[in-house]
Chain A
Amino acid sequence: MSLRIVVTVKYVPDATGDRHFADDLTVDRDDVDGLLSELDEYAVEQALQISENSDDDVEITVLTVGPEDAKDALRKALSMGADKAIHVEDDDLHGTDAIGTSLVLAKAIEKAGFDLVVSGMASTDGTAGIVPALVAERLGVPQVTLLSEVAVEGGTVSGRRDGDAASEQLEASLPAVVSVTDQSGEARYPSFKGIMAAKKKPVESWDLSDLGIEAEEVGLEGAWTKVESAAERPARTAGTIVKDEGEGGKQLAEYLAGQKFI
């Protein structure tokens, strides 16, 4: 038996950099370095673990939808141990919203062929946390999302989802879409060997016509949502900082009382 896993990975602006919007109110990608969304490293890691724990023949494909530089995200995932990569790149994709992104991902996943899709819980830029559910809806397969533990055995995927009110144990038949949280287990660092091997792994490039998607269905024009304005939040005014020399707790209590919190 064989198991085909597609891991969706997003290329995002570094959250520790100075993130901004461009004039067309999309993310300014020129100003800040991009990288593989850290939360997608957990998705790659879980795919690798599923593969390592499986008797089946497992093939892991990493898939990204993004500009030219998004290849960096694919390289990182390949150096962690994924087998091959697909890059969906097209100028008409600029400004695509979550619904549009899910369309492109679903078409690419179908074209690649899959038994299991593994995604991150959310991207570190848009942070919507809805793309995996949208992809499942489009593919017409079960979603088993926000897992902190995941296992695949004999055509079934199961896992634990820790919600607000309860912790749930979930189960579905393959094919399915899974998303994993940052509680699922630290992602491995690429080894030197992994980095060297990644250079030789295949990266396919597809554009919209390869996926049978019309330009009007995606991009800024095709988006079903529109950002009308973006304003930088004013910096907080500098606060009072005191050094504790035995009275710090008391001084803080006085401050809180002055602000009517006590």
Chain B
Amino acid sequence: MAEVLVYVDHVDGAVRKPTLELLTLARRIGEPVAVALGSGAAGTAAVLAEHGATRVLTHEAADYADYLVVPKVEALEAAVAAVSPVAVLVPSSAEAKEVAARLALRIGSGIITDAVDLEAGDSGPVATQSVFAASFTTKSVVVKGTPVITVKPNSAAVEPAAAAGAVEALDVAFSEKAHGTKVTARTARESTGRPELTEAAIVVSGGRGVNGAENFSVIEALADSLGAAVGASRAAVDAGWYPHSNQVGQTGKSVSPQLYIASGISGAIQHRAGMQTSKTIVAINKDPEAPIFDLVDYGVVGDLFDVVPALTEDVKSRKG
């Protein structure tokens, strides 16, 4: 059967959920062969096997952490040469997209970015994209080379499927180009203990209406009562009230949770671009004219400092 390369996003061997989603999608078009690079790569094999990877190609080298993007491109290039896959699937993280793009160019293939669904077509995979701030849905195909497709988080359910997951060493020789951009320092982001924003089933976000870094505790308390991730608008981030890594929107994260709760957020097009595909949308805003209300399943016109704490109390008492 045709093989599909799946690029593994992992941190020291811990596979991130979007990669497991890719394995589900990959099985629609062939047999998944995973490629895991860098420190801890071999440690990814067990979980990848549980999710359908027939083979896991691994290569550990310091170059992946010490230099930007290109070492990974060269490893994937080697994997494509070794496997001759019918498609290459890559999670849509900022770095992985860049890796995918350079790989596509090197192997003479077209690239589709930020797919939200994937199916087998008559002449290769058909990718669905959600574009123009999620106001249009397009279906696209790659017409030259081996389709390289990057897929957004939450585009498929993770489905376990046992497979061999045979670990094989990938042979990689780096060119001089691989060492062009040096990573001279790295500071890991501190974990908050809350769910990862792009993976969470519920996201509670605050905007300019939260009016101060210290007030974000109101948003956090609601998030914690629901087991949710915390998001923020760019206005809140620009004001320094919350970290940029929590920004939802066009230049922040795109989220597509079961439930999105926006408090003190007006609903500008760039914010909507990152949350419009959420299943259920709830907003709390004191301005009845705020554009966010055009999107909501349920909206409360009111002061978030009254509504959010009351909601949090009610959630806590219901959960007992």
Chain A residues within 8 Å of B, Cβ to Cβ: 15-16, 19-21, 25, 39, 97-99, 102, 121-122, 124-125, 127-130, 133-134, 136-138, 140-146, 148, 158, 161-173, 176, 181-183, 223-233, 236, 239-244, 246, 248-253, 255-257, 259, 261-262
Contact = CB atoms under 8 A, between A and B. Distances in A.
Contact of A162 (B97, B184, B244): B244
A250 B187 CA distance: 42
The 6 closest A-B pairs by CB, nearest first: A249-B310, A244-B302, A224-B110, A142-B180, A253-B314, A130-B101
A134 B106 CA distance: 10
A242 B300 contact: yes
A249 B139 contact: no
B174 to A, nearest CB: 14
A235 to B, nearest CB: 9
Contacts of A226: 140-143
Contacts of A181: 251
Interface stretch (B49-57, B81-89, B111-119): B111-119
Contact of A259 (B113, B280, B300, B312): B280
A193 to B, nearest CB: 28
Contacts of B68: 142-145, 161, 168, 170
Contacts of A102: 105
Contacts of B11: 165
A71 B189 CA distance: 42
A84 B180 CA distance: 29
B253 to A, nearest CB: 9
B4 interface: no
Contacts of B280: 259, 261
Majority SS at the chain B contact face:
mixed
B113 A129 contact: yes
Given A162-B245, A236-B295, A251-B300, A134 B309 contact: no
B313 A249 contact: yes
A257 B185 CA distance: 47
A86 B307 CA distance: 54
B164 interface: no
Contact of B97 (A19, A130, A148): A130
A259 B260 CA distance: 13
Nearest to B299: A241
A182 B245 CA distance: 13
B30 to A, nearest CB: 20
A170 B310 contact: no
Interface string B232-262: 0010000000001100001100000011000
B281 to A, nearest CB: 8
Nearest to A186: B238
A143 B309 contact: no
Nearest to B237: A183
Residue with the greatest number of chain B CB neighbours at <10 A, chosen from A162, A229, A244, A257:
A244
A232 B136 contact: yes
A29 to B, nearest CB: 13
Contact of B188 (A136, A143, A166, A229): A166
Given A99-B111, A141-B180, A249-B306, A228 B137 contact: no
B181 A171 contact: yes
Nearest to B113: A128
